[in-house]
Amino acid sequence: MANHKSAIKRNKQSVKKRERNRAAKGALRTVIKKFNTAVAKEPETAKELLEAAVPAIARAGSKGIIHKNNAARRKSAIMSKLAALEKSKK
């Protein structure tokens, strides 16, 4: 356990930040999972869910919840899935 006043404060800050990041990561995973499920089961709603997922991923990357390159990679992957889905429709 932290003994110094500054260490106690730092510990409190770390706990708050960890909780915030865990909640944000969970929400991000949910948005991506909804998109992936839609691609598999309901292709007509996939585009709408993509429009919700891309800004969520970008926001997480800009806030440091995930690395910026990780965010770019995730956005690219879900856009590729949608493109492949639309190509297979035609």
> What would the pLDDT profile of 27-67 be if each residue is shown by its tens digit?
999 999 999 999 999 888 999 999 999 999 999 999 999 99
Residue 16 in any domain: the answer is no
Provide the 8-state DSSP code for 33.
H
pLDDT of residue 89: 76
CA 40 to each of CA 29, 44, 88: distance values in angstroms, whole numbers, following the listed order? 17, 10, 13
Residue 17 in any domain: the answer is no
CA distance 47 to 89: 13
Could you tell me which residues come within 8 angstroms of residue 11 by beta carbon, excluding any fewer than 6 positions away? 2
Among 75, 72, 76, 88, smallest CA distance to 40 is for 88
25 pLDDT above the threshold of 80: yes
Residue 32 in any domain: the answer is yes
The residue-averaged pLDDT of 75-81 equals 96
Residue 2 in any domain: the answer is no
Residue 4 in any domain: the answer is no
Residue ranges making up the domain that contains 68: 22-89
Which CATH number do you get for residue 73? 1.20.58.110
Number of domains in the chain: 1
Residue 9 in any domain: the answer is no
Residue 71 in any domain: the answer is yes
